[in-house]
Amino acid sequence: MPERAGTGRAGTFAPVVVRAADGLARWVTRMLGASATAGRESISEAELRDLVAANIVLSGEERHIIDEVLAAGARHVREVMVPRTDVVFLDASLPVANAVAAVRAARHSRFPVIDGSHDDVVGFVHLRDLLIRPEPDGAVTVGELAREVKRLPASKRVLPALSEMRNEGRHLAVVVDEYGGTAGIVTLEDLIEELIGEITDEYDLAPDPLPADGGVPSEVDGRLNLTDFAERCGFALPAGPYETLGGFLMASLGRLARVGDEVEVDGYRLVVISLDGRRAARVGIVTVPRL
């Protein structure tokens, strides 16, 4: 999903969602008649699921909410981040006037600031820092406007990351891979959407329309992660050393994807329709006729 931080929506939803997520285990244990002071550390996810499954007090809707939150909490930040290939970075040495021209075409509000390399993120700037500045403020380069940026390991789970960012008042974090490099960025909105679904506004690109008959869409975004792909298309891709549809295609092909490449899976043919740089941007889905 594109990075849409800073629109004000994350700040509105974050307190409600995080408080609900942080108190989930305590709420369930109270519903089940356990101590109201039971903390998250005193009950494992497996134990919580067992309690929910065995209890007859919870309604179907309440069970669904719990399942959704637990499923989101089990995912890692790397699964919901904006990958570095889709991030607009600004070099610290870039003159402010040039940066203004560069960000006008972007659909983001926060931009990581780097010192020559994408793996050396020194901070971030908000769109307002570039466009709405006191005169004269003396800033010549982007680096002089950069704010401190938070870092999260790619392996961190969604709920702890959401709680941590909210408590620290952070709206954007750089996601760091196991080698210390920049894997991408994640925003409060990205994390919140894992719990409550997609949040859209007038600045967002229109989502792919769902088929009216509820069937499999004819094409999807190659950046869809495996969970979102399964929800949208109704069938799952096999797990592997990848997080997205594009990653699955690359792993299946054993090379970088090219327009026209095809991979068959579970009775469907996935066809690379277009590329964005070296990744599959749009992927068609065709039903394979049964013989």
Give dist(CA 154, CA 146) in Å, integer.
Answer: 23
Give dist(CA 188, CA 3) in Å, integer.
Answer: 10
pLDDT at 15: 44
Residue 178 contacts residue 127 (beta carbons within 8 Å): no
Domain coordinates in residue numbering, the chain: 1-204, 219-287
DSSP string, the chain: ----TTSSHHHHHHHHHHHHHHTHHHHHHHHTT--TT--GGGS-HHHHHHHHHH-SSS-HHHHHHHHHHHHHHTSBHHHHSEEGGG---EETTSBHHHHHHHHTT-S-SEEEEESSSTT-EEEEEEHHHHHS--SS----BGGGTPBP-EEEETTSBHHHHHHHHHHHT-SEEEEE-TTSSEEEEEEHHHHHHHHH-----TTSPPPPPPPTTS---SEEETT-BHHHHHHHHSSPPPP-S-SBHHHHHHHHHTS---TT-EEEETTEEEEEEEEETTEEEEEEEEEPPP-
Decide: pTM greater than 0.75: no
Contacts of 33 (CB under 8 A, 6+ apart): none
* Tens-place pLDDT, residues 263-288: 999 889 999 999 988 889 999 999 98
Query: Which of the residues in the chain have pLDDT under 50?
Result: 1-21, 32, 35-42
pLDDT at 75: 83
Residue 190 contacts residue 80 (beta carbons within 8 Å): yes
- Nearest residue to 201 (alpha-carbon basis) of 109, 271, 84: 109
* Tens-place pLDDT, residues 196-225: 666 655 555 555 666 656 678 999 999 898
Q: For tokens 């981040």, name the residue.
A: 81
Say which CATH architecture domain 1-204 belongs to.
Roll (3.10)
pLDDT at 199: 61
pLDDT at 13: 41
In degrees and rounded to multiples of 5, residue 17 shows phi and psi of: -65, -45
pLDDT at 48: 59
CATH 3.30.465.10 for the 219-287 domain, yes or no? yes
